[in-house]
Homo-oligomer: A and B are copies of this chain.
Amino acid sequence: MPCRSSEELDGLVREAKKVTKHGKVANYIPALQKGNRDDLSVAIYHADGTCLSAGDIEQKITLQSISKVLSLALALMDCGEECVFNKVGYEPTGDPFNSIIKLETNHSRKPLNPMINAGALAVTHLIKGVNVEERLERLISFIRDLAGHNVITYSLEVAQSEFETAFLNRSLCYYMKQDGIIDEDVEDLLDLYTKQCAIEMDCLDLARIGLVFAMNGFDPVREKQIIPVEVARLCKTFMVTCGMYNASGEFAIRVGIPAKSGVSGGIMGAVRNRFGIGIFGPALDEKGNSIGGIEFLEMLSKRYELSIF
Contacts and interface: CB of A to CB of B under 8 A. Distances in A.
Interface of A: 89-95, 99-106, 112-113, 167-168, 170-175, 177-178, 186, 233-234, 236-238, 240-242, 246-250, 252-253, 256, 258, 272, 307-309
A100 B102 contact: no
Given A167-B177, A175-B168, A104 B94 contact: no
Question: How many chain copies?
Answer: 4
28 contacts: A90-B249, A90-B250, A91-B92, A91-B94, A91-B248, A92-B92, A94-B106, A100-B103, A100-B175, A105-B105, A167-B177, A167-B178, A170-B170, A174-B174, A233-B256, A233-B309, A236-B309, A237-B307, A237-B309, A238-B253, A240-B241, A240-B252, A240-B309, A241-B248, A241-B249, A242-B249, A258-B309, A308-B309
Contacts of A237: 249, 252-253, 256, 307, 309
A102 B234 CA distance: 28
B168 A171 contact: no
Contacts of A247: 90-91
Contacts of A167: 174-175, 177-178
Contacts of A91: 92, 94, 246-250
Interface of A is mostly: helix
Contacts of A186: 170
A110 B106 CA distance: 20
A180 to B, nearest CB: 10
Given A175-B171, A309-B236, A102 B94 contact: yes
Contacts of A236: 309
B90 A93 contact: no
